[in-house]
Structures are given as structure tokens and as C-alpha cells.
Chains A and B, each alone.
Chain A
Amino acid sequence: MRRLKRFLIGCFLIFPYYHCQNPITPDKISPNTKIIPNHYAEYFQLRVTEEDTLLHILNLAKQPIASYTWGKSFHTQNVQKIILRERIATLSVLFARMVDALGQGSNIIAIDNKDYVPSNLRLPPNCVSLQTSGILNIERLLGLSPHISFLYVMNQEDIGTYQRLQNKDHSVIFIQSHQEKHPLARAEWLRAISWVLGEPQKGDSLFNKIKNQYENLRTLSAALRKHTPKTHVMMNLPFQGAWFVPNSEAYFSQLLQDAGFAPSWKFSPSQSSQASIRISMEEAIAAIKTATIWLHPGTVTSRKEIVFSDSRLSFVDTLKSLKFYQFDKQLEPHGANAFWDLGALHPELILEDLIKINQHSLDSLYFYRAL
């Protein structure tokens, strides 16, 4: 009993100690913190104080998982201060594309896999691959002495693993653009990167251009489809009977809706709206019969290959009004496809292609090719 009492008393004494150790956020130091609002992105936040700027990276629950600062004086526990910016490692082709768009492509010293870099993204010749086997070669990364590493994590448990790599000369910046559901929200991470690299005006200007073009196209699409019913679209192909399609608020669903398409499958309200859902073959067949456009039919390069995924799809040959479009126009022999990185940074290019497909105006499609 005595031991229990001592234990409880100890807990009461220790608790305030730990409470006092909690890092003080900038808000508590300065009441004049301004939040720089984002247009679409939800998972990063920029804050400006009198002497400093803060970037918070947020998880899906909108809680900060990492914080960065640069500026004159401010530094607290759990906030990484960014000092140097000349040597940049980008562990995704999309991040490299964003860095390059900001005019700092020549500072990229490492990327995840050079094989998947499209030829229209020129990296310095001494840029090395760090993740050819799917696992990051941490020792090689540290051996390159980067100043900034842009990477992403799928599990929160990995955050601690990568934050260990940080020191006063090396900042690990988590670019969680994959968490965003809207295409412009993903592209807006260009602004976060631009602030980190000290080019905020350039980033804001580039993003505003992308946003304006996208929004203009969306308005144009709405005007074009005002008095006509939406075109029904089908997507993907099954594999071994498993057919996945995007749910209502998934990335590609947003693009389809903005382009004036109506998905011919039903969304699942009981699953995450941002996720892909698996539909039954019966639902897929019913969806195919109502669709007039079919996008992303697996990896096929011609219509006749569709039957190889499932011989029961041979009936699609009889549906003469059903048009197929594959996003492999920018596909390169070694597997790189600018659709994934350039398309993520410039969703207005994808939207433009989709609008043209919807309007049957197939001249100068950028990413898509009719099968």
C-alpha cells in the first residue's frame, strides 16, 4: 500500500514536469502570428510571425506531424530550422518536378529512381538514385550531405525514422501531397516547397497560373455541358476478378466531374470517399453498358487486348459507341510517364485533355491517346 502511494505521488510530481517540457508553439510567443491561407491544400499550413515563417505539415487528422522554420531568430524544440538549401534530395519525381519548376533543378543531387524520370525533366548529370529497390538507401542519402530532403510517408510510424536523419545542416521535409483529394490541392504543395526554398513569390505566381487555368477550364466545361446530359465514363480493367474504381472524392473523380463526366459506377458511401473501391464484376458490366467513354483500360495498348484481362469482356467489341482512351501518350520506353508528375503539378493539362475527350475534339491531346 505504501509503495502504491509513493508511486501515485511520483506520478503527480512527474506529470507537471513533463507538461512544462511541452514545446511552446510560436502562437504562444507572439500573438501576431498570421496564417497564410491556402487555396485548396488542407495538409500544410504556413504561418508568419514578426520575425519568422513556419511551415506545419499535417496528418489526415489535421494534427501537425512536423514543423519547419526559417528566418531570423525563432527556434524551439520540435521545430526544424532550415538554414541551407543548396543540395536537395527529392524522393519522388513529382517533388523534383516542383523543384525544377522553381528554377532550382540544378540543385537536385538525388532522386528516388532515375529510371522513372521523364525525359522532359532534366536533372543534373551527377544526380543519383536512392530507392531503386523500393527501400530508401539511407546511408547513401546521408553520404551525399543533402541540405534538404523532400520525401513523403504513408505511415506515421515512419516519421520518427526519417526525422532522425535531421541535423542543423539537413532538414527532412515531409511533402504529404498524396493526402490531398483535389487536384489543385496536390499542385498547391508547390507553394510549400517554394517557401522552403526561399522562392515564395515564384511559387505563388506559378500556382496561381495553374489554378486560374484549371478554374477557367472547369468553368468552360460547365458552360459547354450546360444543356447536355453528362457523359458516362468507365475506368480501369479487372484483374483476377478484382475491379477497382475511384470513390466519390478520390483524386481522379474530381477531375472527371470537373471535365463534365459522370462515372457510370455507383459510389460507396460506407467507404472513405477518397479511396478506391472494388466493385463486383456484375456492377462493372452494368457500368460498361451505360458508358460511352472508357479511360485508363489497364495497361492495354489496343482494344483487342482488353479481352485478355477477362474473356467475358469480349462483348465490348460490339459496343461501337464506346471509345477507349489510354494515358500513355507520354509513356517512355523505360517506364517513365509524365502523366504522374507533370500531371500532378499541372492538373489543368489533364483536365484539358479530358474536356477535349468529352467534346470529341481529339486534336493535340497531351497525355491521352485514343485506342
Chain B
Amino acid sequence: MTAKGQATVLVIWIMALWAFNLLDMHRMDPWILHEFRIPRLWGALLTGMGLALSGLMMQTLFRNPLAGPYLLGVTPGATLGMALYFLTGTLSGLSLSPWGAKAASLVGAFGALAIQLTLSKGFKSPLKMLLIGMVMSYVFSAGVQLLMQFSNAQDLQRYTFWGMGNFEAFKSGDSWYLWVPIIAVFSWVWIHRNALDTYLLGDIYVQSSNWNLYHIRIGLILGGALLAGWITSFAGPIGFVGLIAPHITKRLLKSESHHKVLVPSILWGGALCMSADTLAHHVMAHTVLPVNPICALIGAPILIYSLSKQRA
């Protein structure tokens, strides 16, 4: 299947999901349709697209098809920021602001990125960045668990709900806060697609092609990591999508060229998240399942199948 064919199929799939979720719109109160249903669908679509884009950038950065947005430690940092917000009983004043949680998550993401930048000393070695990111993830997870020991039941419950991931908190207008960074990062990747394809071949090829290796790495890290952190602050930690979407695209297209995989990857991400959200709302009557486990249940078999088909 060509990239165009894949993208077409995915667009149809996404449109079908929109149609399914809006089947009863003629019976709905327009206020509920515009304030709840449509923002949730946009939230799912944009979260998936953003995480897929971030995942693609991470896979490029580490030249590893199994890399994901969590590897640099930025998303665990965002999670720790959110945990500090919830589990310390919140900061006075900040806790009452609708942006309090998002701000805390962003501070966590930026803080993790700052630590990564300091310790990896100028992105000289992706392997070193990966190891630092993994260690930071463990440290941040340990920090969250310690905080949980000292929290009260209410704060603990709030953090747990947030950690399950959901798109119901998206309000009308929130989609712009995701569209703008996604378009900005997408534009950067599209403009630099040739450089990124060369980057996949190795550092020497980049240097011999007169691309600036340092700038490419900065762009990948800042774009990929901050996009993941920003999206996490809206939807909670959604796992697997950033890993699976670009990986499936590359497997189907048998190519890693950014010319081909960029658009289908983000469409895969949007389709997966929307599918998970649709299942979460329709599998059981009168209740909503958490999105995160559904993403994992959809993504894990696909990943396992893909790995089993991988040549040695």
C-alpha cells in the first residue's frame, strides 16, 4: 500500500468514527454537542496525532523503531509535575485555576528536559540521552510513589483518575491549544524531511551533507519532547500510541522515509486514539472505560504481531 493509499484509508476510518460518534446528534442538545461531544472527539484525534508525531520524532532521534515519546523522561516529568499538583494538596490559588494542572504538568516537562539537556551535554550521544531518560523515568516514578504515600485519599483518587487518561476534559476552544503546536512541529518536520532522512543513515552522512547535526537533534528533542509533555497535560499519560502509530506506518510502507511516513503516522495516531475513545464510551452501557488500557490492548497485539514478523 502506498503512503497515499494508507492516508486515504485512515482518513475514511477517522471520518467513519466521527460519523458513528455523531449518529445521535440530531437528538442532542446543541450545547452538549458543542461543549462536550465535539471537543472530546477533537481531543482524541489531536492527542493521537500529536503523540504519533512526537513518537516519530523520537524514533528518528534514536534511530530505533521502538522508541516513543516517553524515552527522554519528559512525559514522566510531566507526570511528576501533575502528581505534585494533586498529591501535595495543590498550591493555593493555582489549584483553583483551570490551568493549574496544565501549568504543573508543563513545569514538570520543562524541568525534565532541562535535566536531560544538562546531563547529556549537547546531545552528543543519543544512547546517553536514552539512558539518562530511562533513569529519569525511574526517578520520577519513584517520586510519584513516595508522594502517594503521603497524600490523602482524595488527592490520590484524583491523580489515579488523571493517570487513566481521558478526553472528556477537553472543552470547546481547547483544540486550538493542540492544533497550533502540532502544526508548528509538523511544519518543522516537513521542512526538514530530507535532513531527517539523511540523519537516519548516520551522523557522518549528516555532516557530509552539510546539515547541522546539532540543530537537527535540538529540533527533534524540543519538538518531540515538548509536544508529548504538552499533550500529557491535557489528556493525561496516554501510552502506546506514540510508539505504535509510526511503527505500523513504517512496517506497512516498508520505508522510513519521512516523505512517506509522516502523514500516515499522525493519521494512524489519530485513528487509534479515536478508536480507543469510541470503545471506551460504547463497550459498556452507562459507563466509560479508561482510555489508556484500551490503547494498550489495541496497540500491544499489533506491536507483537509486527515484531513476530520482523526478520531476524
- A: which residues have CB within 8 A of B? 133-135, 238-244, 265-271, 277-283, 285-286, 299, 305, 308, 310-312, 335
Contact = CB atoms under 8 A, between A and B. Distances in A.
Q: Considering the complex of A and B, which 9 residue pairs feature the smallest CB-CB distances, nearest first?
A: A241-B168, A241-B169, A242-B161, A268-B287, A266-B286, A134-B149, A277-B287, A270-B284, A268-B286
A240 B284 contact: no
A281 B101 CA distance: 19
A131 B269 CA distance: 44
A271 B290 CA distance: 14
Contact of A311 (B36, B171, B290): B171
A67 B169 CA distance: 48
B158 interface: yes
B286 A241 contact: no
Contacts of A134: 148-150
Given A135-B149, A312-B36, A268 B285 contact: yes
Contact of B162 (A239, A265, A282, A310): A239
Given A134-B149, A240-B161, 8 more contacts: A240-B158, A240-B236, A244-B161, A271-B287, A283-B286, A285-B36, A308-B97, A312-B171
A242 B168 contact: yes
Contact of A282 (B37, B98, B169): B37
Contacts of A243: 168
B162 A279 contact: no
Contacts, number: 83
Q: Is the interface of B mostly helix, strand, loop or mixed?
A: loop
Nearest to A289: B29
B286 A240 contact: no
Nearest to A308: B96
A311 B100 CA distance: 13
B166 interface: yes
B35 interface: yes
A239 B101 CA distance: 11
B288 interface: yes
29 contacts: A133-B149, A134-B148, A134-B150, A240-B161, A240-B162, A240-B236, A241-B167, A241-B168, A241-B169, A242-B164, A242-B168, A242-B288, A243-B168, A268-B284, A268-B285, A269-B285, A270-B284, A270-B285, A270-B287, A277-B287, A278-B287, A278-B289, A279-B288, A280-B168, A280-B288, A281-B168, A283-B286, A285-B36, A308-B96
A228 to B, nearest CB: 26
Nearest to A269: B285
Contacts of B161: 239-240, 242, 244
Nearest to B168: A241
B135 to A, nearest CB: 25
Report the interface size class on chain B.
20 to 34
A296 to B, nearest CB: 11
Interface of B: 32, 35-37, 40, 96-98, 101, 148-150, 152, 154, 158, 161-162, 164, 166-171, 236, 281, 284-290
B286 A282 contact: no
Contacts of A238: 168-169
Given A240-B161, A240-B169, A267-B286, A281 B36 contact: yes
Contacts of A278: 287-290
Nearest to B43: A241
A244 B166 CA distance: 13
A1 to B, nearest CB: 36
B98 to A, nearest CB: 6
A334 to B, nearest CB: 11
A265 B286 contact: yes
A241 B148 contact: no
Contacts of A270: 284-285, 287
A299 B154 contact: yes
A133 B167 CA distance: 32
Interface centre among B158, B162, B169 (most CB of A within 10 A): B169
Contacts of B154: 299
A279 B287 contact: yes
Nearest to A286: B32
Nearest to B164: A242
A135 B286 CA distance: 35
Nearest to B146: A133
Contacts of B167: 241
B266 to A, nearest CB: 23
A265 B307 CA distance: 44
B166 A241 contact: yes
B285 A239 contact: no
Nearest to B150: A133
Contacts of B162: 239-240, 242
Contacts of A242: 161-162, 164, 166, 168, 288
A11 to B, nearest CB: 36
Given A133-B150, A134-B149, A134-B150, A241 B170 contact: yes
Contact of B286 (A133, A279, A281, A335): A279
A331 B15 CA distance: 51
A240 B287 contact: no
